[in-house]
Amino acid sequence: MIDQNISPRVKAIVADLSLEEKLAQIVGFWEGEEGDSVAPLQGEQAHSGKIDDATTHGLGHLTRVYGTNPHDPDERAAYLWQRQRSLVTGTRAGIPAIVHEECLTGLSAWKAATFPAPLSWGATFNDCLVEEMGALIGESMSALGIHQGLAPVLDVVRDPRWGRVEECIAEDPYLVGAVGTAYVRGLQSRGVDATLKHFVGYSASQAGRNFGPVHMGPRELRDVMLIPFEMAVLDGKVASVMHSYAEIDGVPVAADPTLLTDVLRGEWGFEGTVVADYFGVAFLHVLHHVAADLGEAAGQALAAGVDVELPTGDAYLAPLKAAIESGAVDIALVDRAAARILAQKERHGLLDQTFEDAPPTGVDLDSPAHRDVARQIAEQSVVLVSNDGTLPLPADASAGTTAVIGPNAHRVSALFGCYSFANHVLAHRPGVELGFEAPTLLESIRDELAGTVTYARGCAVDDDDRSGFDEAVAAARAADTAVVVVGDHAGLFGRGTSGEGCDTDDLELPGVQRELVEAILATGTPVVMVLVTGRPYAVSWALERCAAVVQTFFPGEEGGPALAGVLSGRVNPSGRLPVSLPRPAGAQPYTYLHPALGGDTDVTNLSSAPAAAFGHGLSYTTFEHSGLTASDAPTDGTITVTVSVTNTGDRGGEEVVQLYGKDVVGSVTRPVAQLLGYLRVQVDAGATVTVELDVPTTRLAFTDRSMRRVVEPGAVELWTGTSSTRLTEATVELTGEVHEVTPASARLTTARVAASAVAETVAPATA
């Protein structure tokens, strides 16, 4: 049963190991401390005991050595080297452990750089920049002796009420796949294994509730949810995959061999390790109730294809041993899993590593390079949603008085997501310093603007205390402009308004924040509303009444200066919405990928149209698209698309050219719009650039009535725009027979600037 790709050396090691030693290789150990609370039902599930007792027979994974308490990196590296050395010298097999950490917004460790949350990656539409970030995170991890990172999250956003939306990249599977694969390439270029989360369906949970069941047919699962994972496996060569907590149509993913073996390994050829989401194997017994006990849960997970139980060995140690000895579970399943993790260790050189060398010291976890990329992502991800000309604010004294108001204006933790070390760990350690510089938006505005800047908090993020309203209203009345900074606080399991286990019933701003904004609007002072959130909120009311609305998604350590730069005009905004800004919760779940029946029709009195479309974003200049041409292509070919983009404003800026398509007639219903490719381009004022995109026809593939993924012949409408709204259009014909897509088919659209020339003089547009 051991996989064919396993080396003779690893096979020989497996054959030599005792049952206890094999089981030790397929579990993790989490040496938690009092006060830890960073995983679901952690208190009920964690039974790790003492590490010396737990490593008698060896160990597969060391769980979050750096990441669950504010340890000094040098001291913790010394501890890790000593612990690895004890595995080499103190166990019969002498094999060190894989060390894994969270790394969704940077290495989740004290004093490490904290990058923007994944929704901000999606808002950049910039794969190359995300790949640079992944490489920097990988460098930090590799230097500290970490082998595996538990990121990226490739769940496709389906319901903004779900708390973990902030961990996702977008509502479009292609954007998720392209950006997520770039992160994988970056992290793995530095020798750290990426881990795809959460395979699969987790983001489609019932009513947006964490751990809710998933009601989804196999076609939607194939055509939406699986696409990003397929891209990261086939194009990113990812080394590890984590199963999701979800149950889809009654079958928990952790016990589903169709997904974890047939699709992942059989169809896609994945050769890495499948790791459990924390306590996910035990949940087959204690939450899903598809296993009578932990031993049966272990057997189901192993048979499905889960290799490593994390964070501990609750099911894969004593319960699994008993099930094997009783004959209930085949030991060949253990051999297969042990061989896979030993192959991972072989690839990392751990089978020969002795840890006799000195541990690392002085690793710079927040270097100028880290901060530069964090700044670029933060700047490129800020979305100017609406603007009546109030922005940009004058940076000189002519700006007069600016009142900065709101609970997220002067709160450092407002810049960071749930899986940042600040909100994941330091929230439980009051008084411990952040460990790196992160100016708030208020501090950054004061640095940015020469005029007078006043401040009033107004209210908290999520309570009903209105006692600060009077001070905030007075500050707004005395000011020329009010910048009201509202949004979320990221946390875990109900300790925030966004994050894991922090779902919402509605999509109004938390607490009394809308009331605060309404009170400031009533003063008559122009209001710039800045949203610092982990999910999109229903803010159509603000788009109608505020002078400007700016959206950012937990922008990280450089988020304050980035936002201030956009407000002042030093930074020309270029972010695009990776998720639609929704209507109220009653219109959810919504996706721009809906078929015609899911859009605005005359069969209902309620509109499901979003307040702002996927891909939307304004600039301080304007762009015109023209001359779209596209070639017909065979169903197994490539569509070549060319479009001219002219900057019709009076300052340079970056445009995100977005190419969309619509299959006019399909054998099953097709989306009214589908992102086919994109390119971020710099266009000087008055200049024109020509953008070329080569679109493999597989971008238009779907699962037909016989459950084959195919490209059908027929007409396809194409258009480009600054959002999913059409600006310039063309129609092409796909010719030939129905083409069945395989893993060998191309999946990624390539895009480039073909030429650049100064356009004819155009009248500057109003910014």
Q: Are 512 and 556 in contact (CB under 8 A)?
A: no
* Residue 712 dihedral angles phi and psi, to the nearest 5°: -100, 150
Distance CA 83, CA 99 (A): 11
**In the chain, which segments carry CATH 3.40.50.1700?**
380-592
Distance CA 337, CA 342 (A): 9
DSSP label at residue 302: H
- Lookup: tokens for 232: 């990261």
Q: Are 425 and 457 in contact (CB under 8 A)?
A: no
Helices within 672-760 (DSSP H only): none
Neighbours of 748 (CB within 10 A): 19
pTM: 0.96
pLDDT at 607: 81
Within 8 A by CB and 6+ apart from 473, the residues are 519, 520, 522, 523
Q: What is the CATH number of domain 623-758?
A: 2.60.40.10
Looking at the DSSP assignment, which residues form a beta bridge with residue 758? Answer: 687
Please write the tens of the pLDDT for every residue from 259-310. Answer: 999 999 999 999 999 999 999 999 999 999 999 999 999 999 999 999 999 9
Helix (H, G, I), strand (E, B), or coil: what is residue 89? Answer: helix
* Residue 630 dihedral angles phi and psi, to the nearest 5°: -150, 145
Looking at the DSSP assignment, which residues form a beta bridge with residue 529? Answer: 484, 549
* Residue 52 dihedral angles phi and psi, to the nearest 5°: -65, -40
CA dist 239 → 149, 152, 342, 344, 447 (Å): 10, 12, 13, 8, 44
Distance CA 411, CA 430 (A): 14
Within 8 A by CB and 6+ apart from 485, the residues are 404, 405, 406, 407, 408, 409, 414, 441, 442, 530, 532
Distance CA 12, CA 283 (A): 33
pLDDT at 606: 80
- DSSP-derived secondary structure for 377-418: HHHHH-EEEEESS-PSPPSSGGG-EEEEESTTSS-GGGGS-T
pLDDT at 763: 37
Residues in the chain: 767
Mean pLDDT of the chain: 94
Gyration radius (Cα) of the chain, Å: 26
State which residues of the chain have pLDDT below 70.
Answer: 32-49, 600-602, 755-767
Q: Are 575 and 123 in contact (CB under 8 A)?
A: yes
DSSP label at residue 664: S
3-state SS, one letter per residue, for 175-187: HHHHHHHHHHHHH
**In the chain, which segments carry CATH 2.60.40.10?**
623-758
- Lookup: tokens for 59: 């160990």
Neighbours of 489 (CB within 10 A): 27
Neighbours of 78 (CB within 10 A): 15
Architecture of the domain delimited by 380-592: 3-Layer(aba) Sandwich (3.40)
